Structure 1
């Protein structure tokens, strides 16, 4: 399901565009997981994150990171995929986890060029849904998004956690 290791992620340069300034040579861990276009992928993303966080020995941040991963993946599946996305062999969503000595970044890549839209915490229109980015903002130290450039299309939505 995923890849794990201390090497840079394949599209790492594209992923770090728009991230807070971090030295790419100081990455101490990186893991990546392709996710199919179905909601069961959220559970798979949490399990992948749980294993990766355990391997990186940062259990005190497990709950917040897993919650944010769940929200980012759910948003990608719900809002970033065309309605006719097939369950084909090329998963349209990808989860990337990167660890530096003092930070962990969760990034979810999806095929949409549309900006993520955060609902307001007190907005009645988000009573049942729409609170995902509010939760991402509440649990992470910072978050953002950027469109991908070059041969990659879509965007990356990321969240940073200070360790």
Structure 2
């Protein structure tokens, strides 16, 4: 669990609204093992990070989105033989980046395939496939892009707008 997300900022900006990388006030990342228990670890990491950044009031929405992004990466982006292999190098990373008025959650995985939403109502009623619908519903925007250079895979990100003043009751 390091706090240096600099390797993520350059490719991440390609798919995000214009953001000045120099204005990033905080970033944190953690590697996640190829096991479904990693979702719980991602939520704990998110909770600790948001509390440290004094935006813990956003935890519910952010944690739901983080859970969905990590679950999708574990379910759809890993080769089947790597799941539950404790010796496999953590192929999924969670990155949290904070600007003055924005928070970005990004999950990196080894698959180049685009995330897919379910098209029909029948598909939507299935437990699997609602993840990106929830990501879209609870974040202000989301997207993805392939990694460049020597990195393989993609990044799926979600952006949350932060307000400086507490919401009125």
Identify the TM-score tier after normalising by the shorter chain.
over 0.9
Greater radius of gyration (CA) = 2
Distance of 1:47 and 1:13 partners within structure 2? 26
User: Is 1:50 paired with 2:47?
Assistant: yes
Contact kept in structure 1, 2:5 and 2:95, CA below 8 Å: no
CA contact (8 A) 2:112 2:146 kept: yes
Equivalent-residue separation in structure 1 for 2:36 and 2:138 (angstroms): 22
**2:87, 2:121 → 1: CA distance?**
37
2:68 matched residue in structure 1: 71
Give deviations 1:104-160, integer Å, cap 9, x for gaps.
Answer: 00000000000000124x612232221000000000000000000100000000000
- 2:123 maps to 125
Question: Structure 2: which 5+ residue stretches go unaligned?
Answer: 163-169
**Secondary structure class of the residue paired with 2:123:** helix
Using structure 1 for the length normalisation, give the TM-score: 0.92
Find the residue that maps to 1:11 and give its secondary structure.
helix
Q: How many residues align?
A: 159
After TM superposition, list the pairs within 5 Å mapping 1:4-19 onto structure 2. 4=3, 8-19=5-16
Q: Which residue of 1 aligns with 2:86?
A: 87
Distance, in Å, in 1 between the alignment partners of 2:103 and 2:40 is 20
Distance between the aligned counterparts of 2:50 and 2:5, measured in 1?
Answer: 17
Cα separation, 1, equivalents of 2:117 and 2:15: 18
Query: Structure 1 unaligned runs (5+)?
Result: none
> 2:24·2:97 contact (CA, 8 Å) conserved in 1?
yes
TM-score normalised over the length of structure 2? 0.89
Cα deviations by residue, 1:22-59 (Å, 9 ceiling, x for unpaired): 10000000000000100000000000000000011112
Distance 1:89 1:82, change over 3 A: closer
- Per the TM alignment, residue 11 of structure 1 is displaced from its structure 2 partner at its CA by 3.2
State the partner residue of 1:142.
141
2:2–2:29 contact (8 Å) kept in structure 1: yes
Deviation at 1:87, TM superposition (A): 2.9
